[in-house]
Amino acid sequence: MEHLIFLSEFVLIPNQSKVEPVVFLLGWSDCNDKALCTYSRIYEDLGCITIRYTAPKEYESVKLKPLAKKLIDLIPEMSLEANPVFFHAFGNNGSKLYCHMKRTLEEEDHSSQVKVKVRGEVFDSGPGSDSGGWLGVGLITLLLFVINLVRQIIGLIVGLVNGQSLAAAIENFGEPNYYQLIKSK
C-alpha cells in the first residue's frame, strides 16, 4: 500500500503540478503500440506526458545502446528537461532497454549534455529468467501447498486421536498440535 501512496504523491495526482511528469513506457517482447496505448492513456488521463517504445526482441546490447541514447535525447528535443521522468518497463525486453537508458544517463559524456530528473521506475512482469526459472517457483509453491495440506490432515487426525469430536477436530483443521501427538504416546 505504501507504494501506491508513493506513486500518488509523485505521479498520479492529476493537475497538482504545473510541470507534467514524463513517463517512458518500454514495451515487452512482441508488444504492439495498441497495447502500450492502453497504459499510455492511463498516465495521460492523470496529467502525464508519455513516450512509448518497444525494442525489437532480437536486438542485442550493441543495438540497444544507440536506441537508448535516442530515447534519452527526446527529453531536450521536446524541451522536457524541467519535468520529472519515470520509467515503466514491461517484461525482460523493457527492462533491458531501461538498463541501457540508465547507463546512458550515467555516462559522463552524455550527462553533461542532458540533465534528466529521474524520479522513479516501475518494473512490470520483469526482469525475469528466460530459462524457465518460473517452473522452479511453481514447483516450490506446489510443494509448500502439499506440505501445508498434510499438516492440516495430521492436525485433524491428532484431534480425533485425542478424543475430540469430529466437529471440534474439523473446527481446528489446519492447526496441527504436534505437542499433543508426542505427549499422547
Domains belonging to the chain, first-starting first, are: 2-124 (3.40.50), 133-184 (no CATH)
Under 8 Å between Cβ of 72 and 114: yes
- What is the DSSP code (8-state) at residue 114? -
| pLDDT class of 127 with cuts at 50, 70, 90 | low
Q: What is the pLDDT of residue 16?
A: 55
Cα(76)–Cα(83) distance, integer angstroms: 10
Long-range contacts of 30-37 (CB under 8 A, 24+ apart): 30/57, 31/90, 31/91, 31/93
For the residues 126-144, what does the mean pLDDT come to? 60
177: closest CA among 160, 161, 154? 154
Closest CA to 7 of 84, 72, 69: 84
**pLDDT band of 136, cuts 50, 70, 90:** low
Give tens-digit pLDDT for 73-121.
Answer: 999 999 998 899 999 999 888 988 998 998 888 875 555 566 788 888 8
CA angle, corner 100, sides to 12 and 77, nearest 5? Answer: 65
pTM for this entry: 0.61
Which pLDDT score is estimated for 108? 58
